[in-house]
Protein backbone atom coordinates (compact mmCIF):
# COMPACT_ATOMS: atom_id res chain seq x y z
CA UNK A 1 0.00 0.00 0.00
CA UNK A 2 1.37 3.41 -0.94
CA UNK A 3 1.95 6.02 1.73
CA UNK A 4 -0.94 8.07 0.32
CA UNK A 5 -3.34 5.12 0.43
CA UNK A 6 -2.22 4.24 3.95
CA UNK A 7 -2.87 7.78 5.09
CA UNK A 8 -6.37 7.70 3.62
CA UNK A 9 -7.07 4.36 5.30
CA UNK A 10 -5.93 5.67 8.66
CA UNK A 11 -8.09 8.78 8.21
CA UNK A 12 -11.28 6.79 7.66
CA UNK A 13 -10.50 3.86 9.95
CA UNK A 14 -11.71 5.48 13.17
CA UNK A 15 -14.96 6.95 11.73
CA UNK A 16 -15.80 3.61 10.08
CA UNK A 17 -15.10 1.78 13.35
CA UNK A 18 -17.42 4.06 15.30
CA UNK A 19 -20.08 3.94 12.59
CA UNK A 20 -20.02 0.14 12.74
CA UNK A 21 -20.06 0.15 16.54
CA UNK A 22 -23.01 2.55 16.72
CA UNK A 23 -24.91 0.55 14.07
CA UNK A 24 -24.30 -2.73 15.90
CA UNK A 25 -25.36 -1.16 19.21
CA UNK A 26 -28.53 0.28 17.65
CA UNK A 27 -29.47 -3.06 16.09
CA UNK A 28 -28.82 -4.79 19.41
CA UNK A 29 -31.01 -2.31 21.29
CA UNK A 30 -33.80 -2.69 18.70
CA UNK A 31 -33.59 -6.49 18.90
CA UNK A 32 -33.72 -6.51 22.70
CA UNK A 33 -36.64 -4.05 22.65
CA UNK A 34 -38.57 -6.22 20.20
CA UNK A 35 -37.90 -9.34 22.27
CA UNK A 36 -39.03 -7.64 25.49
CA UNK A 37 -42.11 -6.19 23.77
CA UNK A 38 -42.97 -9.61 22.35
CA UNK A 39 -42.52 -11.21 25.76
CA UNK A 40 -44.80 -8.60 27.34
CA UNK A 41 -47.53 -9.07 24.73
CA UNK A 42 -47.45 -12.82 24.08
CA UNK A 43 -46.30 -14.19 27.44
CA UNK A 44 -47.33 -11.71 30.14
CA UNK A 45 -50.38 -10.24 28.38
CA UNK A 46 -52.48 -7.45 29.84
CA UNK A 47 -53.75 -9.31 32.89
CA UNK A 48 -57.36 -8.37 33.65
CA UNK A 49 -57.56 -5.06 31.79
CA UNK A 50 -60.60 -6.27 29.84
CA UNK A 51 -63.01 -6.59 32.75
CA UNK A 52 -66.29 -4.88 33.72
CA UNK A 53 -64.74 -3.34 36.82
CA UNK A 54 -62.08 -1.66 34.70
CA UNK A 55 -64.06 -0.69 31.60
CA UNK A 56 -67.80 -0.86 32.24
CA UNK A 57 -70.64 -3.32 32.78
CA UNK A 58 -71.77 -4.09 29.22
CA UNK A 59 -69.97 -5.52 26.19
CA UNK A 60 -71.58 -5.12 22.76
CA UNK A 61 -70.74 -7.71 20.08
CA UNK A 62 -71.92 -7.60 16.47
CA UNK A 63 -72.09 -10.74 14.36
CA UNK A 64 -72.43 -12.49 17.69
CA UNK A 65 -74.12 -15.78 16.79
CA UNK A 66 -71.28 -17.55 14.95
CA UNK A 67 -67.53 -17.90 14.79
CA UNK A 68 -65.29 -15.19 16.22
CA UNK A 69 -68.21 -12.99 17.30
CA UNK A 70 -69.80 -15.76 19.32
CA UNK A 71 -66.42 -16.58 20.87
CA UNK A 72 -65.97 -12.93 21.91
CA UNK A 73 -69.44 -12.87 23.47
CA UNK A 74 -68.76 -16.05 25.43
CA UNK A 75 -65.27 -15.02 26.59
CA UNK A 76 -66.39 -11.54 27.64
CA UNK A 77 -69.33 -13.08 29.52
CA UNK A 78 -66.92 -15.45 31.23
CA UNK A 79 -64.97 -12.38 32.36
CA UNK A 80 -68.13 -10.97 33.94
CA UNK A 81 -69.51 -8.61 31.30
CA UNK A 82 -73.21 -8.39 30.59
CA UNK A 83 -73.56 -8.93 26.86
CA UNK A 84 -75.49 -7.19 24.09
CA UNK A 85 -75.70 -9.58 21.14
CA UNK A 86 -76.38 -8.02 17.74
CA UNK A 87 -76.93 -10.17 14.68
CA UNK A 88 -79.43 -10.81 11.89
CA UNK A 89 -81.33 -13.89 13.12
CA UNK A 90 -83.46 -13.48 16.26
CA UNK A 91 -83.69 -17.25 16.56
CA UNK A 92 -79.91 -17.63 16.71
CA UNK A 93 -79.64 -14.64 19.03
CA UNK A 94 -82.07 -16.24 21.48
CA UNK A 95 -80.16 -19.51 21.36
CA UNK A 96 -76.78 -17.89 22.08
CA UNK A 97 -78.29 -15.59 24.69
CA UNK A 98 -79.80 -18.47 26.67
CA UNK A 99 -76.57 -20.46 26.48
CA UNK A 100 -74.48 -17.54 27.79
CA UNK A 101 -76.90 -16.75 30.61
CA UNK A 102 -76.99 -20.40 31.65
CA UNK A 103 -73.24 -20.97 31.45
CA UNK A 104 -71.89 -17.64 32.73
CA UNK A 105 -74.74 -16.30 34.86
CA UNK A 106 -74.65 -12.82 33.31
CA UNK A 107 -77.39 -10.60 31.91
CA UNK A 108 -77.83 -10.52 28.15
CA UNK A 109 -79.74 -8.39 25.68
CA UNK A 110 -80.38 -9.05 21.98
CA UNK A 111 -80.90 -6.74 19.02
CA UNK A 112 -81.81 -8.27 15.66
CA UNK A 113 -80.32 -6.19 12.83
CA UNK A 114 -79.34 -6.88 9.24
CA UNK A 115 -76.17 -4.85 8.61
CA UNK A 116 -76.60 -5.03 4.85
CA UNK A 117 -79.31 -2.36 5.37
CA UNK A 118 -78.64 1.22 6.44
CA UNK A 119 -81.87 2.00 8.31
CA UNK A 120 -81.06 -0.14 11.36
CA UNK A 121 -78.99 2.25 13.44
CA UNK A 122 -81.77 4.15 15.20
CA UNK A 123 -83.05 0.77 16.42
CA UNK A 124 -79.59 -0.18 17.65
CA UNK A 125 -79.13 3.19 19.34
CA UNK A 126 -82.44 2.77 21.16
CA UNK A 127 -81.41 -0.72 22.25
CA UNK A 128 -78.11 0.54 23.67
CA UNK A 129 -79.58 3.61 25.35
CA UNK A 130 -78.86 3.86 29.07
CA UNK A 131 -76.30 1.03 29.15
CA UNK A 132 -72.85 1.46 30.68
CA UNK A 133 -70.89 0.16 27.72
CA UNK A 134 -67.28 -0.81 28.36
CA UNK A 135 -66.45 -2.85 25.26
CA UNK A 136 -67.63 -2.80 21.66
CA UNK A 137 -66.57 -5.62 19.32
CA UNK A 138 -67.27 -4.68 15.71
CA UNK A 139 -67.10 -8.19 14.31
CA UNK A 140 -69.90 -8.42 11.74
CA UNK A 141 -68.55 -9.01 8.26
CA UNK A 142 -69.01 -10.83 4.96
CA UNK A 143 -66.62 -12.06 2.30
CA UNK A 144 -66.80 -13.57 -1.17
CA UNK A 145 -68.49 -16.93 -1.80
CA UNK A 146 -65.36 -17.79 -3.77
CA UNK A 147 -62.39 -15.84 -5.22
CA UNK A 148 -63.40 -14.07 -8.43
CA UNK A 149 -62.25 -11.39 -10.86
CA UNK A 150 -63.82 -8.05 -9.99
CA UNK A 151 -65.94 -7.65 -13.14
CA UNK A 152 -67.06 -11.30 -13.00
CA UNK A 153 -68.58 -11.08 -9.52
CA UNK A 154 -72.31 -11.95 -9.81
CA UNK A 155 -74.64 -8.97 -9.21
CA UNK A 156 -71.61 -6.73 -8.81
CA UNK A 157 -73.38 -3.48 -7.84
CA UNK A 158 -75.47 -5.17 -5.15
CA UNK A 159 -72.42 -7.11 -3.97
CA UNK A 160 -70.38 -3.91 -3.54
CA UNK A 161 -73.19 -2.12 -1.69
CA UNK A 162 -73.68 -5.05 0.67
CA UNK A 163 -69.95 -5.43 1.32
CA UNK A 164 -69.57 -1.72 2.08
CA UNK A 165 -72.64 -1.62 4.34
CA UNK A 166 -71.65 -4.69 6.37
CA UNK A 167 -67.85 -4.33 6.53
CA UNK A 168 -67.43 -0.53 6.55
CA UNK A 169 -70.62 1.35 7.40
CA UNK A 170 -71.26 -0.81 10.47
CA UNK A 171 -67.88 0.14 11.95
CA UNK A 172 -68.37 3.86 11.33
CA UNK A 173 -71.99 4.05 12.44
CA UNK A 174 -71.69 2.12 15.69
CA UNK A 175 -68.97 4.52 16.83
CA UNK A 176 -70.62 7.72 15.71
CA UNK A 177 -74.19 7.06 16.84
CA UNK A 178 -73.56 5.98 20.36
CA UNK A 179 -70.54 4.25 21.77
CA UNK A 180 -67.90 6.98 21.63
CA UNK A 181 -70.45 9.36 23.15
CA UNK A 182 -71.09 7.21 26.21
CA UNK A 183 -67.48 6.29 26.99
CA UNK A 184 -66.17 8.38 29.86
CA UNK A 185 -62.37 8.25 29.97
CA UNK A 186 -62.43 4.47 29.58
CA UNK A 187 -63.63 1.83 27.20
CA UNK A 188 -62.35 -0.44 24.44
CA UNK A 189 -63.45 -0.77 20.82
CA UNK A 190 -62.15 -3.83 18.99
CA UNK A 191 -62.58 -3.61 15.23
CA UNK A 192 -62.18 -7.00 13.60
CA UNK A 193 -60.39 -6.37 10.34
CA UNK A 194 -58.46 -9.15 8.59
CA UNK A 195 -54.96 -10.04 7.51
CA UNK A 196 -56.42 -9.52 4.03
CA UNK A 197 -56.43 -5.81 4.89
CA UNK A 198 -52.66 -5.75 5.41
CA UNK A 199 -51.97 -5.96 1.67
CA UNK A 200 -54.04 -6.23 -1.54
CA UNK A 201 -55.54 -9.67 -2.12
CA UNK A 202 -56.34 -10.35 -5.80
CA UNK A 203 -59.71 -12.00 -6.52
CA UNK A 204 -60.93 -10.83 -3.08
CA UNK A 205 -60.36 -7.20 -3.94
CA UNK A 206 -63.47 -5.60 -2.45
CA UNK A 207 -63.20 -7.62 0.76
CA UNK A 208 -59.50 -6.83 1.12
CA UNK A 209 -60.09 -3.12 0.53
CA UNK A 210 -62.97 -3.00 3.00
CA UNK A 211 -60.82 -4.59 5.70
CA UNK A 212 -57.95 -2.20 4.93
CA UNK A 213 -60.41 0.65 5.59
CA UNK A 214 -61.27 -0.86 8.98
CA UNK A 215 -57.57 -1.04 9.87
CA UNK A 216 -56.74 2.54 8.83
CA UNK A 217 -59.94 3.93 10.36
CA UNK A 218 -59.19 2.22 13.67
CA UNK A 219 -55.60 3.42 13.86
CA UNK A 220 -56.61 6.97 13.01
CA UNK A 221 -59.28 7.01 15.71
CA UNK A 222 -56.86 5.52 18.24
CA UNK A 223 -54.53 8.48 17.66
CA UNK A 224 -57.47 10.85 18.18
CA UNK A 225 -58.90 9.26 21.33
CA UNK A 226 -55.86 7.75 23.06
CA UNK A 227 -55.43 10.84 25.23
CA UNK A 228 -59.05 10.42 26.37
CA UNK A 229 -58.32 6.95 27.75
CA UNK A 230 -60.27 5.07 25.07
CA UNK A 231 -58.66 2.00 23.49
CA UNK A 232 -59.42 1.48 19.80
CA UNK A 233 -57.76 -1.62 18.45
CA UNK A 234 -57.45 -2.96 14.91
CA UNK A 235 -57.54 -6.77 14.94
CA UNK A 236 -56.16 -8.53 11.85
CA UNK A 237 -56.52 -12.32 12.10
CA UNK A 238 -55.30 -14.75 9.49
CA UNK A 239 -57.42 -17.87 9.00
CA UNK A 240 -59.53 -19.01 11.96
CA UNK A 241 -61.62 -22.20 11.87
CA UNK A 242 -65.05 -20.66 11.27
CA UNK A 243 -67.95 -20.94 8.83
CA UNK A 244 -66.83 -17.73 7.12
CA UNK A 245 -63.38 -19.16 6.36
CA UNK A 246 -64.87 -22.60 5.51
CA UNK A 247 -62.20 -24.21 7.70
CA UNK A 248 -63.66 -26.99 9.81
CA UNK A 249 -60.64 -28.29 11.70
CA UNK A 250 -58.50 -26.12 13.97
CA UNK A 251 -54.70 -26.29 13.69
CA UNK A 252 -51.82 -24.32 15.20
CA UNK A 253 -51.92 -21.67 12.47
CA UNK A 254 -55.71 -21.88 12.05
CA UNK A 255 -56.99 -21.82 15.64
CA UNK A 256 -60.51 -22.28 16.90
CA UNK A 257 -62.42 -19.03 17.51
CA UNK A 258 -62.24 -19.63 21.27
CA UNK A 259 -58.45 -20.06 21.19
CA UNK A 260 -58.00 -17.00 19.00
CA UNK A 261 -60.22 -14.72 21.09
CA UNK A 262 -58.62 -15.75 24.40
CA UNK A 263 -55.21 -14.82 22.97
CA UNK A 264 -56.40 -11.62 21.30
CA UNK A 265 -58.02 -10.13 24.41
CA UNK A 266 -54.66 -10.33 26.16
CA UNK A 267 -53.25 -7.84 23.62
CA UNK A 268 -55.85 -5.13 24.33
CA UNK A 269 -54.09 -2.05 25.67
CA UNK A 270 -50.72 -3.36 24.52
CA UNK A 271 -51.09 -3.20 20.74
CA UNK A 272 -53.25 -0.77 18.78
CA UNK A 273 -52.82 -2.96 15.70
CA UNK A 274 -52.58 -6.68 16.32
CA UNK A 275 -52.81 -10.04 14.61
CA UNK A 276 -54.09 -11.22 17.98
CA UNK A 277 -52.41 -14.61 18.13
CA UNK A 278 -48.68 -15.42 18.19
CA UNK A 279 -48.55 -17.69 15.10
CA UNK A 280 -50.55 -15.08 13.21
CA UNK A 281 -48.19 -12.32 14.39
CA UNK A 282 -45.26 -14.32 13.01
CA UNK A 283 -47.12 -14.80 9.72
CA UNK A 284 -47.88 -11.07 9.61
CA UNK A 285 -44.23 -10.18 10.14
CA UNK A 286 -43.06 -12.59 7.45
CA UNK A 287 -45.59 -11.44 4.85
CA UNK A 288 -45.13 -7.69 5.42
CA UNK A 289 -41.48 -7.34 6.50
CA UNK A 290 -39.64 -10.16 4.71
CA UNK A 291 -41.51 -11.06 1.52
CA UNK A 292 -41.23 -8.59 -1.38
CA UNK A 293 -44.67 -7.25 -2.31
CA UNK A 294 -44.36 -8.55 -5.88
CA UNK A 295 -43.73 -12.12 -4.71
CA UNK A 296 -46.52 -11.96 -2.14
CA UNK A 297 -48.95 -10.58 -4.71
CA UNK A 298 -48.05 -13.34 -7.17
CA UNK A 299 -48.49 -16.00 -4.49
CA UNK A 300 -51.86 -14.65 -3.41
CA UNK A 301 -53.03 -14.51 -7.04
CA UNK A 302 -52.01 -18.11 -7.61
CA UNK A 303 -53.76 -19.28 -4.45
CA UNK A 304 -56.91 -17.38 -5.42
CA UNK A 305 -56.93 -18.85 -8.93
CA UNK A 306 -56.56 -22.35 -7.48
CA UNK A 307 -59.46 -21.85 -5.04
CA UNK A 308 -61.58 -20.32 -7.81
CA UNK A 309 -60.94 -23.27 -10.13
CA UNK A 310 -61.87 -25.80 -7.44
CA UNK A 311 -65.08 -23.94 -6.62
CA UNK A 312 -66.19 -23.62 -10.26
CA UNK A 313 -65.37 -27.28 -10.93
CA UNK A 314 -67.45 -28.34 -7.94
CA UNK A 315 -70.33 -26.16 -9.12
CA UNK A 316 -70.28 -27.81 -12.56
CA UNK A 317 -70.21 -31.28 -11.03
CA UNK A 318 -73.08 -30.40 -8.71
Q: What is the pLDDT of residues 94-124, one digit of tens each?
A: 999 999 999 999 999 999 999 999 999 989 9
User: pLDDT tens digit string along 69-93?
Assistant: 999 999 999 999 999 999 999 999 9
Burial pattern 105-134, b for ≥16 Cβ within 10 A else e, equals: ebebbbbbbebbeeebbeebbebbeebebb
Catalytic annotation, pick one of 121, 144, 146, 207: 207
Query: In the prediction, which pLDDT does 138 show?
Result: 94
* Ranges of H-type helices in the chain: 3-39, 52-55, 67-78, 90-104, 121-128, 156-164, 170-174, 180-182, 205-225, 257-265, 278-285, 293-317
What would the mean pLDDT of 142-168 be, rounded to a whole number?
A: 95
Angle 175-68-232 (CA atoms, 0-180°, nearest 5)?
30
Do residues 283 and 195 lie in contact, with contact meaning Cβ atoms separated by under 8 Å? yes
- Is 33 designated active site? no
pTM for this structure?
Answer: 0.88
Q: Find, among 256, 279, 281, the residue nearest to 270 by Cα.
A: 281
Query: 190: which strand partners?
Result: 137, 233
CATH number belonging to domain 48-313: 3.40.50.720
Amino acid sequence: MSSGGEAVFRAVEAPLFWLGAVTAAWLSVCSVYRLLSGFKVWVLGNGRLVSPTTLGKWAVVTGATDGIGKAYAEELARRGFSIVLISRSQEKLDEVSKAIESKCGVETKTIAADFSATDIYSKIEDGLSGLEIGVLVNNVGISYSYPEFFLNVPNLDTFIDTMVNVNITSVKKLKSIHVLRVFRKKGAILNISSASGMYPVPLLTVYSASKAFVDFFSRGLQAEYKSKGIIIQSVLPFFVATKLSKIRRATLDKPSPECYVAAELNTVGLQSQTNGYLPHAIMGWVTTALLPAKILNSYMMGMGLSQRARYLKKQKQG
